[in-house]
Homo-oligomer: A and B are copies of this chain.
């Protein structure tokens, strides 16, 4: 204990926290000694008193981490300066496991919980609406009157289609995932709005093989072929690029392809590397982190859904701009 080395016990606390009255010399001496003996206050004891544990929980059902990791990185990035640490709880889609983790977090007096997932229109398999700690939702469906952060898929899709139009593509097709996904419908809506209805939307699944197959379908149809493909995610885009190459069609010379997600491992390794839409999940995480912190500190935050803009990442699969960016 620092007090042993210094002089008293409550004085030590005041010295280290720059609070209370005392001689400047005493304060300095206590601080110095504390530094020398490497004294660190026990956060448990502090938390017991202050009702703040400087700990939050991140709950996710995105086992693979495609979406969770960037969100986590953003949260951590925003909160580490505030001394807040993050419990990561991966609950598959198991309600019992989820409840176990939530209970464990509540026992540990987390200051708040961030719920995240892999789909904007699905709830986590656990009810977080009546907890006595603040909850914010990031990239997953929230409850009434909650604060929810999500990507603006409509704006992101517009970005993509407008980019294709800007570089001169006129017959733009849209190959995407299952129609029951909210993101799919929203992106398709934006596609229709910007590109008109000249080409159909091909709904399928989120896989490379679907991208591959969709290209086969498109090119087997009679009539003019598309000169631009807006794909619902990078995996589909990659499958499409592969299918085009197998048909001897050059990307981006003959056809421009654009993806969605900016999943580096797919987008950057495709030949040519994919131009794609980034949902800025890290920024999303950052804002979610700051928000849950604000709520934990009792500050008021307007409930509602906040849509964060996407960003276009230009690589080489569209042409139209110097590859060197």
A interface residues, Cβ below 8 angstroms from B: 40-45, 47-48, 53-55, 57, 63-65, 69, 72-73, 76, 80, 83, 85-90, 97, 100-101, 103-109, 207-209, 212, 235, 242, 264-266, 269, 271
Contact = CB atoms under 8 A, between A and B. Distances in A.
Nearest to A101: B80
Oligomer: number of copies: 2
A55 B85 CA distance: 11
Contacts of A86: 87-88
Contacts of A264: 64
Contacts of A100: 80
B65 A209 contact: no
Given A86-B87, A208-B269, A209-B269, 4 more contacts: A44-B44, A63-B69, A69-B69, A208-B271
B90 A76 contact: yes
Nearest to A265: B265
Contacts of A235: 269
A72 B235 CA distance: 25
A55 B107 CA distance: 12
Contacts of A65: 65, 69
Contact of A90 (B73, B90, B97, B269): B73
B87 A87 contact: yes
A104 B87 contact: no
